[in-house]
Chain A
Amino acid sequence: MSVVMVLLRRELSLAWARGGGALLAVGFFVAAAVMLPLSLGPTPARLAGVSSGVTWVVLSLASLLSLDRMFERDFEDGALDLLALGPLPLEIVSAIKCFAQWTVSGAPLALAAPVVAIGLGARMTVAPMIFAAAALGGLAFAFLGGTGAALALASRRGGVLIAVVVLPLLTPPVIFGGAAIANFNEGLPWVGALSLLAAYALGCVALTPFAMAGACRNAQS
């Protein structure tokens, strides 16, 4: 257990330091959300209609930002080889990396999401729903994003490739989360959509570490 904690602490501090960590993701998130009224016009009624949905989309894009350094740094300086030789299997190592990514970038984004949505004109009551969807969805984004990052290890171009590979896989959580928020807004039952989002996120947590470990071994071979 202590090995896991040591690794988790290392990954957390690396993720925090990596490319500005939480500040970068939240900064991008807020800046991109500011573009929305600038491009759609300041009419409050129009903005209020799209506020929570746009918040959700920009959130998924913001969570792609720091992915390309997730495995690459350790791969380049040889730390990944040491981790592969260490006592923990690569599956656990990858899961810890993704969990650290979620803690450092996904959780702050989930805290910022209701603020941004309300700033764009969403109702106050929807805030807990947006937070819950963003926290759960962020878990799926982190684990799927980590899969893309691990797959792109062997390639020449990291960043854009990760986005092209990962974005189609992000559609289910985006659909479920968007549906949960929209249903909540309209007073329709939202538990089903949120449960599907939670199921998808937990499925990612359970399955993607195997893909990540396979991708890392492949890049190292």
Chain B
Amino acid sequence: MFAALANPARFMAFSRWAAPILGVLGAGLVGYGLWLGLNAPPDYQQGETVKIMFIHVPAAWVSMMAYACLGGASFFSLVFRHALADAAARAVAPLGAIFTGIALVTGMLWGRPMWGAWWVWGDARLVSVLVLFLLFLGYMALRASIDDEAKGARAAEILALVGLINLPIIKYSVEWWNTLHQGESVMRAGGSALAPVYLTPLLLTGAGYSLAFGALWLARIRAEVWRRRATSLALRAALA
């Protein structure tokens, strides 16, 4: 399927339908998950604030997934020099920054009542998500500051791959520094620590976020392909 979609014409035909279908499915899942989650009983410790989790945790998942997608697309673009992979890398960076921003802001809104502070520097995971946000910004800044599109793409790809080193650090920081933040509770050896009444809506919104992310990504790749087509058409018209 991956190889078949590398053909731009086939990709455009596929994404034309896939993007809206994924978007509707994702919005439906997020809506249903949020409805279930908001109607769940308040937590005995966290009270009603536990419900921020249904917005916060999936955004954090998707932000890391987005960087993995950025790294993967950059790798394909660097190795196979495929234009579509480069368009995908370019398209995913602002999306990743937005999802990381959502995770940071909702995390702060949760931290204020629960920890008594908007931001806790003692926690490694908070800081590494902030670093992830800065990595997205750095990627976009590097890309924007290089005039030559091909050179900018290549430099940004190298940066994305260098930044991939940071992803495992985010993942394992929870174990490296055993600090304030909740440890891994959804997926861990010996079953989940979450009650099903919270786990079900969380998994639903997680799946919904992922599908919505896929839809937005496809739509942005399509926009990028069109932008390139428009640029080359304008160039051809100017030369004619």
Contacts and interface: CB of A to CB of B under 8 A. Distances in A.
Interface stretch (B23-31, B129-137, B215-223, B231-239): B129-137
Nearest to A204: B165
Nearest to B128: A171
Interface in B162-195: 162-163, 165-166, 169, 176
B127 interface: yes
Contacts of A156: 145-147
A155 B146 contact: yes
B5 interface: no
Interface in A149-165: 151-157, 161, 164-165
Interface stretch (B40-48, B111-119, B152-160, B203-211): B152-160
Given A155-B146, A156-B145, A167 B155 contact: no
A147 interface: yes
Interface of B: 78, 124, 127-128, 131, 134-135, 137-138, 141-142, 145-148, 151-152, 154-155, 158-159, 161-163, 165-166, 169, 176
Contacts of A211: 158, 161-162
A interface bracket (residues with beta carbon within 8 Å of B)? 20 to 34
Contacts of A167: 134
Given A154-B148, A155-B142, A169-B135, 8 more contacts: A147-B162, A151-B142, A168-B134, A169-B163, A169-B165, A169-B166, A175-B127, A218-B155
B163 to A, nearest CB: 7
A168 B151 contact: no
A108 interface: no
Given A147-B162, A151-B159, A164 B138 contact: yes
A154 B151 contact: yes
A214 interface: yes
Interface of A: 147, 151-157, 161, 164-165, 167-169, 171-172, 175, 196, 203, 207-208, 211, 214-215, 218-219, 221
A99 B118 CA distance: 41
A218 B158 contact: yes
A168 B135 contact: yes
B142 A161 contact: yes
B147 A165 contact: no
5 contacts: A152-B145, A156-B145, A157-B145, A165-B142, A218-B151
B132 to A, nearest CB: 8
A154 B163 contact: no
A156 B148 CA distance: 10
Contact of A151 (B124, B147, B155, B169): B155
A100 B159 CA distance: 23
A167 B134 CA distance: 9
Contacts of B158: 147, 151, 211, 214-215, 218
A218 to B, nearest CB: 4
Contacts of A169: 135, 162-163, 165-166
